[in-house]
Amino acid sequence: MSLLSIAYKSIRQRALASSLTALSVALGVALMVIVLVSYGIVDRMFSQRSIGYDLIVGPKGSELELVLNTVYRVRKASWKLPYQFYLDLRDDSRIAEAIPVALGDFTEEGGFPIVGTIPRYFVVEYAPGRKFQRKGKDLRRPFDAIIGSRVARQNQWEIGAKFTLVHGGAKSEHVHDEEFEVVGILKRTGTPNDRTVFVHLDGFFMIAGHEEDPEDIISRMIKFYPDPTDELRELMANIRREVEEESANQSKHEHDDHHHHCVPTWRKEVTAILLTVKGDMFGRVKRSIDLTRELKEGFQAQAVNPIVPMRDLMEIVVKNVSIVLGVMTIFIIIVAGVSIFVSIYNSMADRRKEIAIMRALGARRQTVFYIVLAESTLLCIGGGLVGVVLGHGLVFLAAPLVELQSGILINPFAFDIKELVLLPSLIVLASLVGFIPGLTAYWTDVAKTISD
């Protein structure tokens, strides 16, 4: 009979105690698996692998807030960049793509964020090597809309569905009169795009209440262009002239599906501009740094590599939380190891006669020692394997719920390379907790035990 079979039979004789100690190991390992998988998901979510732009340009202020507003849409934002500024960046010879976005409203149903943008948004890769896929048409008319997969599923919207926007916040009672029509539905991406409604930028500006005060617009243009060219001076003069004409004529814009008044360029302002620069990897890095410096020095704007503030957030918050959870998990596994030690050690008193008989029948001291080590190893490895299955099972069950609540797409079969360390660690733990009980069995006095 092999050592493992003897150890297994010994464990079966103490089935309840053995099951509880193995369960404690399983729970600790399951928690460790969940922590590792969750951290890996968050890390991928907030890394370059999930963002396809080199820079995000926005008003000066918090870099983290700009990224959270523009990419993750978790904060309320207002648009304060002149549209002319976007046109200038678009025409810059170093820029491959410049995509304007305007945020601020939400859908009346579900409270999903609205992003006003241009059709090119869906041509550029939303993450390296990943492009949007959708059914339906592109944004062509001012009041066309493309919706994310979660929006379509939760609101049960199909192509042709119409909806209205809520101004200023998801809980606002100010509902716009304009109706947008769904012309396309994006396939699931596992990014915030899944819980976003995209509307044509022209239609976004045509919504009543999105007009900015002309004097405020001129004031901001002056800040952006402290040394305006003759063309800009002429533009500002035309703005004032047009405002005076509108005031004299008491003209009003009408918004319907058949006739829309185009919004002049000077009336448009955007929340941010998504940039990709030309060149290979090193050239893009250099141009990105140059653009960041130029904007920082010359304009009331900033260019941010979206990865930098998110990595800072990961280091400051998420990583520290995962470390705390990891330390707690290690303590749980250590406690589980102690319980295995106590269980086996306490069983030594009841098994002295059994061990003495084995020795009397010819078993060597080393054989008895290895049987005890085999017991602790079986309990640790068995509990660990159950824990791995349990941890991944919980991730599998939680994946659709997390996607429903946050829009984050989780691979239910996600695996972290660090999990490979668990098995060797459990073997070491088993050796440690089984060593002293094994020595107790090793030094059992055969004659005294049998005579007693």
* pLDDT tens digits along 103-121: 888 898 888 999 999 999 9
Residue that is last in its domain, among 277, 305, 333: 305
Residue 28 has pLDDT above 60, yes or no: yes
User: Is-contact 166 111, C-beta < 8 A?
Assistant: yes
Together in a domain, 390 and 251: no
Three-state DSSP class for 56?
Answer: strand
Q: Give the whole-angstrom CA distance, residue 388 versus residue 385.
A: 5
CA distances from 26 to 191, 350, 389 (A): 32, 27, 9
Together in a domain, 325 and 296: no
Instruction: Please give the single-letter amino acid code of residue 274.
Output: L
pLDDT digits (tens, 9 = 90+) for 317-352: 667 777 777 787 777 777 777 777 777 767 666 666
Together in a domain, 263 and 371: no
Span 406-433, average pLDDT: 74
Strands 144-147 and 197-200, bridge-based pairing: antiparallel
Q: Which residues contact 185 (CB under 8 A, 6 or more apart)?
A: 134, 135, 136, 146, 147, 148, 149, 152, 157, 158, 159
Q: Highest mean pLDDT range out of 35-39, 57-61, 317-321, 434-438? A: 57-61
pLDDT digits (tens, 9 = 90+) for 51-90: 788 899 988 888 888 888 888 887 666 667 888 889 888 9
Together in a domain, 268 and 128: yes
Task: Please choose, from the candidates 360, 368, 343, the residue with its C-alpha nearest in 3D space to the C-alpha of residue 443.
Answer: 368
Together in a domain, 253 and 108: yes
Q: Which domain holds residue 364?
A: 3-46+311-451
189 versus 275: the higher-pLDDT residue is: 275
Three-state DSSP class for 95?
Answer: strand
The size of the chain, in residues, is 452
pLDDT score at 313: 74
Together in a domain, 134 and 215: yes
CA distances from 329 to 32, 324, 332, 416, 418 (A): 6, 9, 5, 16, 14
Instruction: Please give the single-letter amino acid code of residue 382.
Output: G
Together in a domain, 72 and 28: no
Task: Please choose, from the candidates 276, 111, 103, the residue with its C-alpha nearest in 3D space to the C-alpha of residue 201.
Answer: 103
Span 206-211, average pLDDT: 74
3-state per-residue secondary structure call for 106-131: EECCCCCEEEEECHHHHCCCCECCEC
**Mean pLDDT for the chain overall:** 78
Number of domains in the chain: 2
- Whose structure tokens read 């250099």? 286
pLDDT digits (tens, 9 = 90+) for 220-231: 777 777 677 777
Instruction: Please give the single-letter amino acid code of residue 395.
Output: V
Together in a domain, 172 and 228: yes
Residue that is last in its domain, among 255, 278, 305: 305
User: Is-contact 349 391, C-beta < 8 A?
Assistant: no
* DSSP per-residue codes, 280-327: SHHHHHHHHHHHHHHHHHHSSEEEE-THHHHHHHIIIIIHHHHHHHHH
Span between the terminal Cα atoms of the chain, in Å:
28
Q: Give the whole-angstrom CA distance, residue 56 versus residue 63.
A: 9
Residue 376 has pLDDT above 90, yes or no: no
User: Is-contact 74 292, C-beta < 8 A?
Assistant: no
Q: Which residues contact 264 (CB under 8 A, 6 or more apart)?
A: 242
Task: Please choose, from the candidates 296, 240, 231, the residue with its C-alpha nearest in 3D space to the C-alpha of residue 264.
Answer: 240
Span 407-429, average pLDDT: 74
Question: For residue 257, what pLDDT band results from cuts at 50, 70 and 90?
Answer: very low
Residue 141: both structure tokens together = 């008319």
pLDDT score at 253: 46
Residue that is last in its domain, among 305, 329, 350: 305
pTM of the model: 0.69
Tell me the sheet residues that pair with 95. 277
Together in a domain, 233 and 316: no
Residue 250 has pLDDT above 60, yes or no: no
Together in a domain, 171 and 274: yes
User: Is-contact 97 276, C-beta < 8 A?
Assistant: yes
Residue 171 has pLDDT above 60, yes or no: no
Question: For residue 49, what pLDDT band results from cuts at 50, 70 and 90?
Answer: low
pLDDT score at 363: 63
Residue 81: both structure tokens together = 């960049």
For helices 422-442 and 319-360, give the axis angle rounded to 10 degrees.
30
Q: Give the whole-angstrom CA distance, residue 335 versus residue 87.
A: 63
pLDDT score at 256: 45
Strands 144-147 and 175-186, bridge-based pairing: parallel
Residue 204: both structure tokens together = 């976004």
Of 154-158, 364-368, 406-410, least confident by mean pLDDT is 406-410
Helix (H) or strand (E) holding 43: helix 15-45
Task: Please choose, from the candidates 385, 390, 375, 386, the residue with its C-alpha nearest in 3D space to the C-alpha of residue 430.
Answer: 375
Q: Highest mean pLDDT range out of 37-46, 153-162, 438-447? A: 153-162
Together in a domain, 150 and 255: yes
Together in a domain, 184 and 116: yes
